[in-house]
Amino acid sequence: MTAFQDPEIYRDILDGLQIGVSVLDLQKRIVFWSEGAEQITGYGRIDVLGHASADSILLHCNQISCEMCAEKCPLATALHEAKPVEAMSFIHHKAGHRIPVRTWAIPLRDKRGSIIGIIQTFEGEFALPGPDPNNRSMKEQGWLDEVTGLPNQAVMQSHLRETLGTFTEVHIPFGVVSLQVHNLGQFRSSYGQGAARSILQVLARTLRNMVWPTDFVGCWSDGRFLVILMGCSEEALQTLTQRTLKTVSSATIRWWGEDLSVAVSIGSAGARAGDTVESLLLRAQPTFSDEQVALSVRATAASGNPSPRS
């Protein structure tokens, strides 16, 4: 037997790839999980092998709480149409944040051509934009938020003024998205300062993963984030705002055996002639919908704590 006749050599090849590779059977139980998949998602083989995707081991997220086995997910589509499907989506990292990936779902066939499972590959799409949270110079200058490592309000205000000045001179469109954590004080009281820090860090990392390197993400105040989107039209801004809300709302942390999340409100506004920092932020003031309140109540009730009040 030559080396390439040994089936183990192909397992080694798959493990050596930098992309994530997983194989699921027709019951959507995970039967293979590559080293690349471990590195991208944070989930080890021991976490996922033998588990069904419906167990929330691995979540796809282009809809709020959308699981891999949802009706329109790449896996279901590939099985239904019996052909490979490509998609852009977000994967739920074990640490709780969302990471953008390009994914392929490919039906796996036996020698007779019958579908016996599905192969899924996924690879990260974007490098993290913005300042490096470990940048010692920015930390020493006091330009970074201590909890999240994102630029603080002073830096964001300066950048916003500069961007408005450029808009006034050459009319390059841009927009801002403002996101506010709902009842952060109550979350701290219920779970402690450590849990609050962790959820804010997960939200910050999720936001940084969602935008282009030319965009800017920072903290505006305790539990409030600001995103400056360069070259963004009004239509694109609205689409991105809704996608951001759905993605960030599904971010979680694992805390003393519980999966914790927070409800968030969001607002956005595109720059207009004559805008100031104050007028732009006023139009982008986050609003909290009845649907978000209901989600917040259900999440809090599931964890056994009193329902939050608006």
Q: Give the chain's domains with CATH numbers.
A: 3-124 (3.30.450.20), 136-302 (3.30.70.270)
Cα radius of gyration (the chain): 22
Residues in the chain: 310
| CB of 19 closer than 8 Å to CB of 36 | yes
pLDDT (tens digit per residue) in 230-240: 988 888 899 88
Q: Among 53-62, 71-80, 142-151, 284-293, whose mean pLDDT is lowest?
A: 53-62
Spatial distance between the Cα atoms of 196 and 200, rounded to a whole number of angstroms = 6
Q: Which residue has the tokens 């050599």?
A: 9
**Residue 179 predicted with pLDDT over 80:** yes
| Highest mean pLDDT pick, 19-23, 26-30, 39-43, 175-179 | 175-179
Q: Whole-prediction pTM value?
A: 0.63
Query: Sheet containing 224-230: which strands, arranged edge to edge?
Result: 216-221, 224-230, 174-181, 264-270
If we measure between CA atoms, which residue out of 199, 217, 209, 241 comes closest to residue 152? Answer: 217
| CB of 190 closer than 8 Å to CB of 299 | no
Percentages helix, strand, coil for the chain (3-state, rounded to 5) are: 40, 25, 35
